[in-house]
């Protein structure tokens, strides 16, 4: 005995099959549409021009379809918390970044609506220039120039008996500077008087245990 075919069940099964086909087609169309939309606004030829002051930069790119985009950026790839956005639809995009830090690497990505575009899964990056307003002043070279007295006298050595009086003291330095650093010979020491000649080879005239210029002064005073 043959079983009767349940027509109602066949109808329901057919309707479900048609619905599933339509759903699949619809999903595919949506995916195709979304893919096409994303490709239309995808950034191409992304370039960065850093300002000469090191505090600004302009990010440029083109897209096939007009869009309003924004640049999300920061000083680390994981923290793109800063943002600069366009204000009108365009295909030639130029977004300016300001208040940047000189000599610093920045990372960024481009967002169009819910779509995010970067450099193959990692943010784009660029480095700002050094601050051109900072003037580096070279350290001046210090040149030691001998004093006029040493240049003219050849340098007076306090350990030389310049006046050839047998005693090395402060008078020798005075005589050295006066006579141009020349050591006097015994013949060049010409006393002005007999009393002066007697005071050339000094002795301890003031009996203080030290033979120095004071003895010469005391000697000269004793002959007055």
**Cβ neighbours for 74, distance < 8 A, ≥ 6 positions apart:** 80, 81, 82, 106, 107, 108
Q: How high is the pLDDT of residue 20?
A: 79
The whole-angstrom separation of Cα 85 and Cα 95 is 7
Q: How high is the pLDDT of residue 88?
A: 95
Asked whether residue 23 carries a pLDDT value surpassing 90, the answer given is: no
Which residue ranges form the domains of the chain, and what is each CATH number? Answer: 43-127 (2.60.40.10), 148-222 (no CATH)
Measuring CA to CA, how many Å separate 105 from each of 6, 59, 94?
A: 73, 14, 20
Q: What is the mean pLDDT of residues 70-96?
A: 96
For 25-73, write each residue's pLDDT tens digit.
Answer: 665 555 545 545 568 999 999 999 999 999 999 999 999 999 999 999 9
**Cβ neighbours for 76, distance < 8 A, ≥ 6 positions apart:** 107
Q: Are 153 and 124 in contact (CB under 8 A)?
A: no
Comparing 15-29, 40-54, 181-195, which segment has the lowest mean pLDDT? Answer: 181-195
Asked whether residue 223 carries a pLDDT value surpassing 50, the answer given is: yes
Return the exposure string of 15-24: e unless at least 16 CB atoms fall within 10 Å of the residue's CB, then b: eeeeeeeeee
Whole-prediction pTM: 0.47
For 100-138, write each residue's pLDDT tens digit.
Answer: 999 999 999 999 999 999 999 999 999 999 987 766 667
Q: Which of 151, 157, 155, 189 is nearest to 172 (CA)?
A: 157
Instruction: Give φ, ψ of 30 to 5 degrees.
Output: -60, -45
Q: Are 69 and 85 in contact (CB under 8 A)?
A: yes
The whole-angstrom separation of Cα 170 and Cα 86 is 86
């Amino acid at each position: 005995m043959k079983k009767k075919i349940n027509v109602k069940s066949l109808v329901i099964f057919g309707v479900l099959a048609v619905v599933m086909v339509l759903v699949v087609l619809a999903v595919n169309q949506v995916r195709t549409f979304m893919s096409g939309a994303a490709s239309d606004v995808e950034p191409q030829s992304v370039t960065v021009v850093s300002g000469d002051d090191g505090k600004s930069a302009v990010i440029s790119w083109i897209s096939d379809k007009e869009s309003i985009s924004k640049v999300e950026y920061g000083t680390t790839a994981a923290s793109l918390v800063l943002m600069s956005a366009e204000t009108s639809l365009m295909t030639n995009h130029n977004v300016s970044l300001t208040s940047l830090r000189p000599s610093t690497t920045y990372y960024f990505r481009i967002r169009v609506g819910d779509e995010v575009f970067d450099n193959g899964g990692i943010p784009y990056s660029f480095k700002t220039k050094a601050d051109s307003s900072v003037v580096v002043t070279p350290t001046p070279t210090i040149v030691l120039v001998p004093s006029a007295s040493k240049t003219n006298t050849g340098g007076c050595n306090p350990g030389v008996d310049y006046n050839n009086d047998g005693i090395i003291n402060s008078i020798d330095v005075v005589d050295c500077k006066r006579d141009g650093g020349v050591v006097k010979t015994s013949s060049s020491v010409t006393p002005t008087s007999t009393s002066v000649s007697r005071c050339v080879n000094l002795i301890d005239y003031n009996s203080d245990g030290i033979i120095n210029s004071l003895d010469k002064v005391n000697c000269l005073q004793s002959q007055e």
